[in-house]
């Protein structure tokens, strides 16, 4: 990598990269696919190391950053290894994917540690989790992510979780779980099931309605029965019912709140109507009569109003100064 030709403005497209790699490696390069926003190239295990070397050393590509490496359980097809490479000079990212040799029993994939030293621990991780051997790796033992004497490969699909054997997973594992014949299992909703967001919304709306409805009705009733109020407590007092007292108190509170709300609404309405008073009505009517739009008429009328008011204020202040003098004279 003595001479780097790769640049952001001259970055090869994924198709050109594939072509270049196919030119170098021939049959080793398989199909390509754009997956999850990353250009993925299938490589035969025999060409795995060579492909990484070309991508790293080719001056036009310069994939100099080893991003990540991980395993995938491909069920009966064995295991896949994916290596993601990044080029700091072009900003391109590419994923290489290969199917390990050896099936499920002894999966193995050539190590990339000779090309990228950073691959070391990532391959160890893939070994820890999937049991994939990496010939050419300095040493994948001892395990680094699990305890050293851990038995089994925890991320394999056939790995049994001891706790799950004792207590099965409560509920459905997948959004649409299939039975033996491939039909979707539809779970009946039972009491105690967590409500979905939509159900929750409905329930909250119902609750709010129930809570507000009596308040509205009572507010209407209060207006009718308020003159009779002095009589009702007398009747209640004979019972000396604490509950009734509490209810009456709650009613009072609700009423006070309703009053406050009404007062606030009136205030707000007042605040809204105030700007309308700033208009100079004559100018406004005149402009409307001329056929101007309401918005323009309003703004011009406002300007006229302010002008008039300023003039008025000026006149007042002069007059006021005179009157002040007069007052002093009186004193």
Partner 1 sequence: MGLMDQVELPQPVKYVFNWGRKYSLWCFNFGLACCAIEFIAASTSRHDFIRHGVIPFAHGPRQADLLVVSGTLTDKMAPAVKRLYEEMPEPKYVISFGSCSNCGGPYWDSYSVTKGVDQIIPVDVYVPGCPPRPEALLDGIIALQDRIQNESLKDRMADRRKDPITLGADAPLALGSSS
Residue 173 or 295: the one with the smaller Cβ distance to partner 1 is 173
Residue 194 or 289: the one with the smaller Cβ distance to partner 1 is 194
Q: How far is the CB of 164 from partner 1 (least distance, A)?
A: 5
Residue 147 or 331: the one with the smaller Cβ distance to partner 1 is 147
Note the residues at the interface with partner 1 (CB under 8 A): 145-147, 150, 152, 154, 159, 161, 163-164, 167, 169
Is the peptide bond preceding residue 59 cis, with omega within 30 degrees of 0? no
Using alpha carbons, list the distances in angstroms from residue 182 to 169, 176, 178, 268.
Answer: 20, 11, 5, 63
Backbone φ, ψ for residue 268 (5° rounding): -65, -45
Structure tokens at 290: 């001329």
Residue 150 or 220: the one with the smaller Cβ distance to partner 1 is 150
Q: How far is the CB of 55 from partner 1 (least distance, A)?
A: 34
Q: How far is the CB of 105 from partner 1 (least distance, A)?
A: 21
Q: How far is the CB of 161 from partner 1 (least distance, A)?
A: 5
Residue 213 or 247: the one with the smaller Cβ distance to partner 1 is 247
Q: How far is the CB of 168 from partner 1 (least distance, A)?
A: 10
d(CA 144, CA 132): 14
Q: Which residues contact 211 (CB under 8 A, 6 or more apart)?
A: none
d(CA 243, CA 59): 87
d(CA 87, CA 36): 18
Structure tokens at 330: 């009186």
């Amino acid at each position: 990598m003595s001479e780097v030709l790769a640049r952001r403005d001259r970055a090869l497209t994924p198709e050109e990269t594939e072509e270049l790699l196919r030119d170098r490696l021939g049959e080793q390069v398989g199909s390509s696919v754009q997956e999850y926003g990353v250009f993925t190239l299938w490589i035969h295990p025999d060409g795995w190391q060579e492909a990484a070397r070309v991508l790293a050393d080719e001056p036009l590509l310069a994939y100099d950053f080893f991003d990540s490496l991980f395993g995938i359980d491909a069920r009966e097809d064995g295991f896949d290894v994916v290596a993601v490479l990044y080029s700091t000079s072009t900003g391109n990212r590419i994923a290489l994917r290969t199917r390990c040799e050896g099936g499920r029993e002894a999966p193995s994939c050539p190590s990339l540690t000779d090309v990228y030293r950073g691959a070391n621990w990532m391959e160890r991780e893939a070994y820890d989790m999937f049991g994939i051997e990496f010939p050419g790796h300095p040493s994948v033992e001892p395990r680094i992510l699990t305890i050293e004497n851990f038995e089994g490969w925890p991320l394999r699909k056939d790995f049994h979780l001891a706790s799950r054997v004792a207590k099965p997973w409560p509920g459905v594992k997948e959004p649409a779980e299939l039975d033996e014949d491939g039909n979707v299992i539809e779970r009946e909703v039972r009491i105690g099931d967590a409500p979905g967001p939509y159900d929750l919304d409905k329930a909250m709306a119902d609750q709010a309605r129930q809570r507000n409805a009596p308040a509205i009705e009572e507010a209407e009733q209060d207006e009718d029965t308020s003159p009779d109020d002095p009589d009702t407590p007398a009747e209640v007092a004979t019972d000396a019912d604490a509950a009734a007292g509490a209810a009456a108190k709650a009613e009072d509170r609700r009423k006070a709140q309703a009053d406050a709300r009404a007062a606030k609404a009136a205030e707000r309405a007042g605040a809204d109507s105030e700007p309308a008073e700033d208009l100079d009505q004559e100018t406004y009517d005149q402009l409307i009569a001329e056929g101007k739009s309401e918005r323009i008429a309003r703004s011009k009328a406002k300007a006229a109003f302010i002008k008039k008011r300023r003039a008025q204020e000026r006149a007042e202040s002069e007059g006021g100064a005179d009157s002040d003098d007069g007052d002093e004279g009186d004193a």
